[in-house]
């Protein structure tokens, strides 16, 4: 049943074997044997089990073997700590015919549904990560157990897909429409949130949760208890409550609208339609509908774009383009953080948690130092309260965190990062002072968002150990780290910075030291077009709606409120001074900063979001108005122009790195596949630059 021929050039499938062994149930309280199917791709834990056509065929064969045996029940589990991460997505972008996509959907349904339709009781022992098709295998089983440390979820909508191997049909009737909308729609759209074991149990996704040390033994005991009748699992009929289904679908639609700003995004819309239909569909009808919806998505541009973005993120998470040999990295045994404000404290916290070495922070006075230390302590306490850190670990980390007003405490540090006020002269003075204190091989890093790292290192005896280390706010959440090399930065410094970034679990891009690097340069360029349109006379609500059809996580003026007009104006001024008139200084932004206006939107007494009257009063507008479409076109034209200049300047080596930065640094939507593929598809690349950023397309990238 796995004779699906993939197109030439598609990556070779990593085969997941399905191995059957018999487990005697006598010792567990029941006569007979359990046929236990174990999924194992023979790789280490960095490569989870996945299902390509051949792997699905092998699972189908294993089910046949178990059915034909004298086993009284069938169970399926995974290799140590991994159940299955779902479909092998690597080949989808290569499919050339809709019939191929339909065949892959039907292949999974035909194999997995045998677990639901078996006359023998079937069990899923979900011993580790179970995502997408991996979780769907379990949903087809009659009963499910879960390891207490495992994470499960249906992330397909996040990728521009939908649960297409039974999830959209089975889950709503299994756990109710509201819970199903949470798992299928809301969680993926909320930064791809996974379900922890306790949540999976409370929602009804699984029947029992056991600790890892005796998970398999307790799961087999659970099988015996079901078979001998000592344990009964009651199933609820969720199809009767009209109000629950209506509420669930409304909740799902609201979540999609909030995430994508009203943009018409196909995958969550189709997923909601399948959830609604699951109430009355038979399994066969639901599975056929899933096949059709999945095939439509797989052959669409948004899905190809999303797969490009997903594969790009996965690859660059493991390999940093242009990074020196890891062996050149120096060992970091003590870290210094200059500054104790919010950003500096966030940096100190993430360094402390991940490097687990002494961290010392400094500031101008003891009160500021104490405030920074207090913030870090409180964040560690919150992690303990949430069960994400043991009390013993928190005590140990607090003990190696110190603060001072004297920078001499950095004398034995190997890595010092500054997060002081964004003023070049202050940073230059600071680095010259630090150079008299630290050892010659200590890395001096700056978290600047827009200033020249090269100029910070001017006049130093050892400019080769200065590097940009630009995080995004909030530091613990945002995955991107821009590492900015100056012409003087040496390989040992860069390798050390990359090694620290890996310990921090960040996805890194090495950039040339240039104004605002990648993300802030592009963000400032297109936001500048929005504010320019407002300054010219376009009503703010018209200009701010310009980018909504793209489904960005927030509008330009909402982003302004998050960043703050002061920071936005500072970056604009830096880029204006370095790159010229295309980065214009907005008189409206200057007025906002002068008057202390921090946000364009506020909530009224009823909780409704409205334009801030104080902000409206400061608008400096002309009499030229534009439509939202005209503003969007000028903003996207500006992005195409700026990105081409950045590549010509060598800010990064490849177009893919710009895509990665915008995906991870500003939340460019996955369904658009990165900023440059979108500009290619919409014609802006060729109209502005006479060529595409990805001339060969994105099917085989990265």
DSSP letter for 583, please. Answer: S
Catalytic residue among 136, 290, 422, 642: 136
How far is the C-alpha of 204 from the C-alpha of 174, rounded, in Å? Answer: 7
Listed in sequence order, the residues at least 6 apart from 613 whose beta carbon sits closer than 8 Å to its beta carbon are: none
How far is the C-alpha of 401 from the C-alpha of 68, rounded, in Å? Answer: 62
How far is the C-alpha of 423 from the C-alpha of 574, rounded, in Å? Answer: 10
136 included as an active-site residue:
yes
Q: Which of 677, 665, 666 is nearest to 640 (CA)?
A: 677
How far is the C-alpha of 35 from the C-alpha of 67, rounded, in Å? Answer: 9
CB 669 within 8 A of CB 675: no
Omega before residue 702 within 30° of 0, cis = yes
Structure tokens that stand for 206 in this block: 């699984």
3-class SS string, 146-170: EECCCEEECCHHHHCCCCCCCHHHH
How far is the C-alpha of 340 from the C-alpha of 361, rounded, in Å? Answer: 6
- 152 φ, ψ to 5°? -130, 160
How far is the C-alpha of 199 from the C-alpha of 639, rounded, in Å? Answer: 42
Catalytic residue among 13, 117, 156, 503: 156
How far is the C-alpha of 675 from the C-alpha of 672, rounded, in Å? Answer: 7
386 C-beta neighbours (distance < 10 Å), count: 8
CB 400 within 8 A of CB 358: yes
Could you tell me if residue 48 is left (phi over 0), alpha (psi between -120 and 50 degrees) or otherwise beta? beta
535, burial (CB in 10 Å: exposed 0-12, middle 13-18, buried 19+): buried
Q: Which of 536, 527, 588 is nearest to 557 (CA)?
A: 527
Could you tell me if residue 629 is left (phi over 0), alpha (psi between -120 and 50 degrees) or otherwise beta? alpha
560 C-beta neighbours (distance < 10 Å), count: 25
DSSP H stretches of helix in 278-405: 283-298, 301-318, 342-355, 366-385, 391-399
How far is the C-alpha of 170 from the C-alpha of 109, rounded, in Å? Answer: 12
Dihedral sign for Cα 26, 29, 30, 36, please: negative
How far is the C-alpha of 478 from the C-alpha of 506, rounded, in Å? Answer: 8
How far is the C-alpha of 413 from the C-alpha of 361, rounded, in Å? Answer: 11
67 included as an active-site residue:
no
Annotated active-site positions, please? Answer: 136, 156
């Amino acid at each position: 049943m796995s004779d699906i021929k993939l197109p030439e050039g598609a990556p070779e499938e990593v085969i997941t074997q399905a191995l059957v062994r018999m487990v005697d149930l006598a010792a567990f309280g029941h006569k007979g044997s359990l046929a236990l199917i174990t999924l194992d791709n023979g790789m280490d834990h960095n490569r989870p089990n996945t299902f390509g056509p051949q792997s699905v065929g092998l699972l189908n064969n294993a089910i046949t073997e178990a059915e034909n045996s004298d086993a009284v029940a069938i169970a399926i589990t995974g290799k140590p700590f991994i159940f299955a991460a779902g479909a092998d997505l690597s080949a989808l972008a290569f499919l050339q015919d809709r019939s191929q996509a339909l065949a892959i959907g039907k292949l999974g349904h035909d194999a997995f549904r045998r677990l639901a339709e078996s006359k023998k009781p079937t069990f899923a022992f979900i011993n580790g990560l179970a995502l997408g098709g991996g979780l769907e295998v379990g949903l087809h089983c009659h009963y499910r157990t879960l390891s207490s440390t495992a994470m499960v979820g249906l992330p397909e909508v996040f990728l521009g897909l939908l649960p297409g191997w039974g999830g959209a049909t089975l889950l709503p009737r299994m756990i109710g429409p509201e819970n199903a909308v949470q798992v299928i729609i809301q969680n993926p759209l909320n930064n791809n949130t996974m379900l922890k074991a306790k949540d999976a149990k409370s929602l009804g996704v699984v029947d029992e949760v056991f600790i890892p040390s005796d998970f398999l033994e307790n799961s087999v005991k659970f099988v015996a208890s079901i078979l001998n009748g000592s344990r009964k699992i009651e199933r609820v009929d969720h199809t009767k409550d009209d109000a629950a289904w209506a509420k669930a679908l409304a909740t799902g639609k609201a979540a999609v609208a909030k995430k994508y700003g009203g943009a018409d995004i196909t995958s969550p819309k189709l997923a909601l339609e399948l959830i609604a239909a699951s109430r009355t569909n038979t399994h066969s009808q639901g599975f056929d509908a899933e096949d059709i919806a999945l095939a439509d998505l797989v052959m669409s541009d948004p899905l190809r774009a999303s797969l490009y973005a997903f594969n790009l993120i996965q690859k660059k998470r493991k390999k940093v383009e242009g990074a020196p040999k890891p062996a050149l990295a120096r060992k970091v045994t003590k870290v210094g953080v200059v500054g104790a404000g919010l950003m500096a404290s966030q940096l100190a916290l993430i360094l402390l948690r991940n490097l687990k070495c002494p961290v010392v922070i400094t500031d101008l006075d003891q009160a500021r130092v104490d405030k920074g230390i207090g913030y870090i302590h409180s964040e560690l306490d919150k992690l303990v309260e949430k069960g994400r850190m043991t009390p013993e670990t928190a005590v140990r980390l607090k003990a190696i965190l110190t603060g001072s007003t004297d920078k001499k405490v950095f004398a034995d540090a190997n890595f010092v990062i500054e997060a002081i006020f964004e003023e070049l002269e202050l940073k230059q003075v600071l680095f010259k002072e630090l150079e008299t204190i630290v050892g010659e091989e200590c890395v001096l890093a700056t978290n600047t968002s827009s200033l020249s790292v090269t100029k910070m290192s001017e006049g130093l005896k050892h400019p080769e150990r200065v590097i940009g280390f630009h995080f995004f706010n909030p530091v613990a959440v945002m995955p991107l780290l821009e590492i900015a090399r100056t012409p003087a930065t040496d390989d040992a410094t860069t390798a050390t910075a990359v090694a620290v970034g890996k310990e921090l679990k960040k996805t890194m891009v090495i950039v040339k030291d240039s104004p605002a690097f990648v993300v802030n340069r592009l963000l400032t360029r297109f936001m500048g077009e929005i504010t320019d349109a407002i300054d010219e006379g376009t009503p703010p609500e018209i200009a701010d709606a310009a980018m909504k059809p793209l489904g960005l996580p927030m509008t330009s003026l909402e982003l302004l409120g998050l960043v703050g007009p002061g920071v936005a104006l500072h970056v604009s001024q830096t880029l204006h001074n370095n790159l010229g008139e295309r980065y214009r200084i907005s008189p409206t932004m200057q007025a906002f900063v002068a008057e202390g206006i921090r946000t364009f939107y506020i909530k009224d007494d009823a909780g409704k979001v409205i334009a801030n009257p104080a902000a409206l009063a400061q608008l400096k507008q002309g009499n030229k108005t534009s439509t939202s479409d005209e503003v969007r076109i000028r903003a996207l034209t500006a992005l195409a122009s700026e990105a081409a200049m950045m590549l010509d300047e060598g800010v990064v080596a490849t177009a893919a790195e710009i895509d990665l930065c915008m995906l991870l640094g500003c939340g460019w939507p996955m369904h658009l596949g990165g900023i440059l593929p979108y500009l290619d598809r919409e014609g802006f690349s060729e109209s502005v630059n006479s060529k595409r950023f990805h001339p060969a397309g994105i099917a085989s990238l990265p």
